[in-house]
Chain A
Amino acid sequence: MNCRPYINHIPDRAVAALFLCLLAPAAAPAADPSPERTRELVRMVRQDCGSCHGLTLKGGLGPPLLPETLREKPAESLRYTVLLGRPGTPMPPWNAFMTEAEADWIVQQLMAGFPEETR
């Protein structure tokens, strides 16, 4: 099951898309994302998160997302940061583009040392 809401305008359609994702039966298993989706997520984090956090995730306008800087922080709150953003800062909400399970996977990978893109 590939659950990938892709939308252009955020609030209403985004919420609907997220909702659809959550409803889809196999959308949010605790298991790792499929290999194809994994590649997309890795690319997204390296490139699109990378525009603020750096391709190497060593930081930019946003703070570094490295194991040593995230270690002390609760995974739960990082996951909410990824999904909902941090109002008042440039960190935007990504819940329209990933499921909760995928956000968990990203946070786990960030805390462990994020994989490189395979090309």
Chain B
Amino acid sequence: MKSLLPILAAFLLSACTGASLRGTGDMGIVIERASGSVAVVDSSTKSILGRIEGLGDLSHASAVYSRDGRYAYVFGRDGGLTKVDLLERRIARRIIQAGNSIGGAISQDGRLVAAQNYQPGGVKVFDADTLELLADIPATYGDGGQRSKVVGLADVPGNKFAFALFDAGEIWVADLSRPREPKVTKFRNIGNQPYDGLVTPDGRHYMAGLFGEDGIALVDLWKPEQGARKILANYGKGVEKLPVFKMPHLRGWAVAGGRAYLPAIGKHEVLVVDTASWQEVGRIPVKGQPVFVMARPDGRQIWVNFAFPDYSHVQVIDTLEQKVVQSLSPGKAVLHMEFTPRGENVWISARDDNRVVVYDTASFSKLTELPAQNPSGIFFTSRAARIGF
């Protein structure tokens, strides 16, 4: 009997730790917009593991991941920055860092988390461990008295962050290799009202979509001395613009097979650009004003959702055929889509139907539906390893 005890103890111990030990590679969060909570999900079992509450106003919230995939940093509209622990399913830290915020990014080395703010306009940089404020970069422009809303914040190689100034028409690249002493490079007169930005998957090009005029501002981060240039200028030439009831997003992996797929503004089209020449090579008519234009991780498909009033639909473009091959109606008010790390499934949030719908991307069949309170953004931990996410 005596000799059995250690074995029993060892067995119990391993049973306990065995139950709690797991990786986070197939985990993620779903933002529950109105209730200020996030659902922690498992994309292998396609299930909700639990909920974390108390994150404040999560309208328009977004999230980035620590590089170990354990913590999500959730940026809320009320300026809250919440670090949540996916494994212990609790809030690890939470601060209110601004009056009105729109999103954020994590640095290449994973040590800095940056938030982009509308009010007061600028970027704040925090220590990823402690959320201590390290740098404050006000988005001042003109004679210095005004501050612009900041959009399109993205991490770029070299522990830098790129972002655009909506009111000023500028792109800034802040070098935070010394976190308390940011060095900012400014690109001025890049175009009228940049509304969002995107860095290409290789981290080389930063693009800001323009709302106030046709075109996209492009900076080659390998050759910053060349300045910003405008691509796709005049894509809507001579055609009356349709109203845009929701701002499109450029974030997301919209670069596939040497082509970038971008939402047109005020046109129900996806614009296709060759990423070697940056010339337009096509336009694909779609159902409405595109909001998210996201490539499946293998680049074979592009999934598109739409602004009000067409927001109950999702369309799929086949990149070989360069046309829409599937239209789906996942539910009312589709706000976001997220692919599983290798793209066999896509999770889609339908806000007004209070559900997340999971599809097989090869057969387009619906695999399951999960209940969620006004779900908006869906963020999987695979983002932790990608530039620009």
Contact = CB atoms under 8 A, between A and B. Distances in A.
B377 to A, nearest CB: 13
Contact of A7 (B77, B100, B119, B309): B309
A119 B352 CA distance: 11
A55 B77 contact: yes
B246 A54 contact: no
Given A60-B102, A88-B212, A55 B246 contact: no
Given A11-B240, A92-B245, A51 B60 contact: yes
Q: Is the interface of B mostly helix, strand, loop or mixed?
A: loop
A13 to B, nearest CB: 11
A81 interface: no
Given A48-B245, A61-B166, A61-B247, A55 B59 contact: yes
B102 A8 contact: no
A47 B351 contact: yes
Nearest to B335: A51
Given A48-B245, A51-B60, A92-B244, A58 B211 contact: no
Nearest to A51: B246
Interface residues of B, number: 34
A85 interface: yes
A48 B59 CA distance: 11
A54 B59 contact: yes
A116 to B, nearest CB: 10
A33 interface: no
A101 B253 CA distance: 43
A59 interface: yes
B100 A60 contact: yes
A69 to B, nearest CB: 12
B181 to A, nearest CB: 31
Interface residues of A, number: 27
A78 to B, nearest CB: 18
Contacts of A43: 352
Interface string A51-68: 110111011110000000
B70 interface: no
B294 interface: no
Interface in A2-50: 6-11, 43, 47-48, 50
Contact of B309 (A11, A58, A97): A97
B242 interface: yes
A59 B308 contact: no
A90 interface: yes
Interface in B26-82: 33-34, 57, 59-60, 77-78
Contact of B310 (A8, A85, A93): A8
Contact of B77 (A8, A48, A54, A93): A54
B100 A90 contact: no
Nearest to A6: B309
A116 B90 CA distance: 28
Contacts of B118: 59-61
Contacts of B309: 6-8, 97
Contacts of A10: 242-243
B287 interface: yes
Given A48-B308, A52-B247, 5 more contacts: A11-B240, A48-B245, A48-B246, A61-B149, A85-B243
19 contacts: A6-B309, A8-B288, A8-B309, A9-B268, A10-B242, A51-B59, A51-B246, A51-B247, A55-B33, A55-B60, A56-B77, A58-B78, A59-B100, A60-B100, A61-B166, A90-B195, A90-B247, A117-B34, A119-B34
Interface of B: 33-34, 57, 59-60, 77-78, 99-100, 102, 118-119, 149, 166, 193, 195, 211-212, 240, 242-247, 268, 287-288, 308-310, 333, 351-352
Question: Which 9 A-B pairs give the minimum distances between C-beta atoms?
Answer: A55-B59, A92-B243, A51-B246, A48-B308, A10-B242, A92-B245, A10-B243, A93-B243, A54-B77
